[in-house]
Amino acid sequence: MKNVTIHEIAKALNINSSTVSRALNDSDRVTSKTKRKVLDKAKEMGYQRNMLASNLRRKRSNTIGVVVPRISRHFFSSTIAGIEETAYKLGFNVIICQSLEELEKEELIIENLIANRVDGILISVSMGTKKGMHLANCLNNRIPVVFFDRHLEGFPDMGKVLIDDQLGAYRATEHLIQKGCKKIGHFSGPKSLQIYRNRLEGYKMALKNYHIPYDESYVLTSKLMKKDGLEMAKKILEAHSDLDGLFCANDTAAVGAFDYFKTIDKRVPKDIAIVGFSNEPFSALTEPSLTTIDQSGEEIGKAACSLLLENIASGNTLIANETVILNPKLIERGSSQR
Amino acid sequence: MKNVTIHEIAKALNINSSTVSRALNDSDRVTSKTKRKVLDKAKEMGYQRNMLASNLRRKRSNTIGVVVPRISRHFFSSTIAGIEETAYKLGFNVIICQSLEELEKEELIIENLIANRVDGILISVSMGTKKGMHLANCLNNRIPVVFFDRHLEGFPDMGKVLIDDQLGAYRATEHLIQKGCKKIGHFSGPKSLQIYRNRLEGYKMALKNYHIPYDESYVLTSKLMKKDGLEMAKKILEAHSDLDGLFCANDTAAVGAFDYFKTIDKRVPKDIAIVGFSNEPFSALTEPSLTTIDQSGEEIGKAACSLLLENIASGNTLIANETVILNPKLIERGSSQR
DNA sequence: ACAATTAATACAATCGATTGTATTAATTAT
DNA sequence: ATAATTAATACAATCGATTGTATTAATTGT
């Protein structure tokens, strides 16, 4: 039982395969009577269009490539979900690849995506990626590229969909101020990462706008694991027993701080109000639940995919020098209600 | 600047394109001297192999399709990560699709994957999927199918990679018994789902094996959201103030129970030991951290992908009537240490 | 040195669908 | 009724790599 092709259908109906092809594609160069005959016969013979052949001929794959550092991280799986949803609506397939934060693997992935003639690439670069020759190579091959979340400087021809970390941090801090906090600490992450510098900046800006003096000793830096949060909570209270608000640059560290405060009978949010960052799934489950900043991976994914698809549809004429900045949202929960 | 093909390279070197093709594929029908020349010229001209053409000719796509209900769910994104890793090692691409629990979308996805001539399909079926004509159709097209986690009965020719829920529940309950619990409750999920029936079964079996009488009033059923856990905790304590152990069929409900016990000053694990199920990321972050059963999505993904790839490699001769049952692991944490 | 053998390369068909152009069939106009 | 026009279909090249077979070049044996 061999594969059914348009040629088989053509032979069976005693017409030409080009007519079959046009009938299947609903071209107006074919009578509706013929179309019907073809469609019926196709169904009868169990015809399955071979996209490999179609893609080769049409020089497009109807596929976009997505590269993320690690699929299982909640933020990235959310973006992927958003991407898939958007792509699916327009009939595009999505190839997913993970760089595992290795530049070398990222380069191989890009190579492979080019070889597979994807119509476009969405990428959140690995931490090790500083230069982007492999990405420039995409443009040489007329494959549009859109960064999301993590991007590289110096590629004006590539789209970017970013979240305004600074604004998110600003809102988090502002929220604490509006809840009456006067002495607000900040747990920051590695300064090597732009996002943490931005979040610190937003914190500072909020303080400034509300005329609260910035005191560097209220800012502690770590890798923001849970135990780091716990340790920093201890440290900051030793230095500043008057602390009444805390903005953590991620949710995990906030949970660590929670735990420490409980052990010393500081009440959250009564004594100390806390705001985290990222809206991790667990932040709704803590006791009290954690006020945080939502980066909506899904929205980012949708926006990035839309930008890319527009580009593809336009024949890459407007090769995206566009940058979309999404606004993070404050998710108000128990940890800041006082 | 047009696309560089093997024909361009051949022309430039004044040799035949078949030799170029063989050189690029490292065939032993080509001198190493010629290979070198071809490779150099290819690099010089910026040649990128067109997999679309290659795939068409070789009648395989080097791509596998993965269908999950929802990418952003932690368990599924973990399996996808495992699948991607395994597939990547063997040079396969991974197309990801989400059914969003809709049978209709699932059918369209399968249709599309067949049209794209994927070499195999990994699927965790949507909740609505009862019959599998769309999947049978894959076999008709000689595309092997492997189920993971959620499967359909009645497809002996399709591989299956499942986790032993019952064993997981058994181990969870056994662990509580070994920690000295005598009065162990169980929070179960909707009986319509096989997994919850299995977990209940495992709970019963453990009790039986350790000669603890089974008392139906120690088992409460709900949808296992956080608030359900909280309510059930209240209810079970009202009925049985002597409760000293609790096995929850998921981690979320366990967190709800945690919260209730805290409000009434029952100490976890001192007064009541708790074990959850799934090893959700947040289970390591609760206070105390939650003992749970790990289903290792990553392992399931790897196993399912390996099974599928073996099948593909064997030319689908052994179209997988194989079922792999993975053993869940107990993750011992604070909530059960007494 | 010449036939016999093997190595290296060239030729040409093929995978299956698409699409510009040519041809035939069907309408319309005169 | 015949030319002119339009609709419908047929023909054939093409996308780019692969691969079985044919041909030429190189090597070995005697």
Q: What is the nearest nucleotide to A16, using C1' and CA?
A: D10
A325 touches chain B (CB under 8 A): no
Taking only the tens of pLDDT, chain B with its 338 residues reads 568 999 999 999 999 999 999 999 999 999 999 999 999 999 999 999 999 999 999 999 999 999 999 999 999 999 999 999 999 999 999 999 999 999 999 999 999 999 999 999 999 999 888 888 999 999 989 999 999 999 998 899 999 999 999 999 999 999 999 999 999 999 999 998 889 999 999 999 999 999 999 999 999 999 999 999 999 999 999 999 999 999 999 999 999 999 999 999 999 999 999 999 999 999 999 988 999 999 999 999 999 999 999 999 987 665 556 899 999 999 999 999 98
Q: Which of B56, B71, B112 sits opposite A56 (nearest CB)?
A: B56
- Name A246's bridge partners: A185, A274
Six-digit token pair at B251?
Answer: 């981690």
The CA–C1' separation of A205 and D7, in angstroms, is 71
Mean pLDDT of A226-231: 96
Q: How far apart are CA A140 and CA B292, in angstroms?
A: 50
Residue nearest to nucleotide C6 (CA to C1'): B29
pLDDT tier, A130 (very low <50, low <70, confident <90, very high otherwise) = confident
Q: How far apart are CA A142 and CA B258, in angstroms?
A: 55
Quick check: B29 CB within 7 A of strand C? yes
Closest CA to B96 of A96, A291, A257, A172: A96
Percent of chain B with pLDDT over 70: 98
- Cα of B33 to nearest chain A Cα, Å: 25
In this structure, are residues A309 and A298 in contact, taking their beta carbons and an 8 Å threshold?
no
pLDDT for res B192: 87
Quick check: A18 CB within 7 A of strand D? yes
Q: How far apart are CA A30 and CA A206, in angstroms?
A: 66
CB spacing of B80 vs A95 below 8 angstroms: no
| Chain A interface mutation, best of B282, B294, B298, highest count of A Cβ atoms under 10 Å | B282
Quick check: A30 CB within 7 A of strand D? yes
Residue B232: how many CA atoms within 13 Å on its side-chain side? 29
B96 touches chain A (CB under 8 A): yes
Helix (H, G, I), strand (E, B) or coil at B185: strand
- Residue corresponding to tokens 């698809």: A309
Q: How far apart are CA A122 and CA A320, in angstroms?
A: 12
pLDDT for res B319: 58
Q: Burial-class residue B197 by CB neighbours within 10 Å (0-12, 13-18, 19+).
A: middle
B139 touches chain A (CB under 8 A): no
Count of CB atoms situated within 10 Å of the CB of A29: 10
pLDDT in tens, A94-111: 999 999 999 999 999 999
CB spacing of B116 vs A51 below 8 angstroms: yes
Which pairing describes strands A329-331 and B120-123: parallel, antiparallel, or unpaired?
unpaired
Q: Which of A84, A114, A226 sits opposite B71 (nearest CB)?
A: A84
List helix spans (H) across chain B.
6-13, 17-24, 32-45, 51-58, 74-89, 103-115, 133-140, 165-178, 194-209, 226-239, 251-263, 297-313
In this structure, are residues A13 and A38 in contact, taking their beta carbons and an 8 Å threshold?
yes
- Residue corresponding to tokens 């299995």: B198
Count of CB atoms situated within 10 Å of the CB of A100: 17
* A220-224, A301-305, B86-90, B262-266: least confidently modelled range: B262-266
pLDDT for res A2: 66
The distance from CA B266 to its chain's CA centroid, rounded to whole angstroms, is 36
Partner A, chain B 13-42, Cβ-Cβ below 8 Å: none
Mean pLDDT of A213-223: 97
List helix spans (H) across chain A.
6-13, 17-24, 32-45, 51-58, 74-89, 103-115, 133-140, 165-178, 194-209, 226-239, 251-263, 297-313
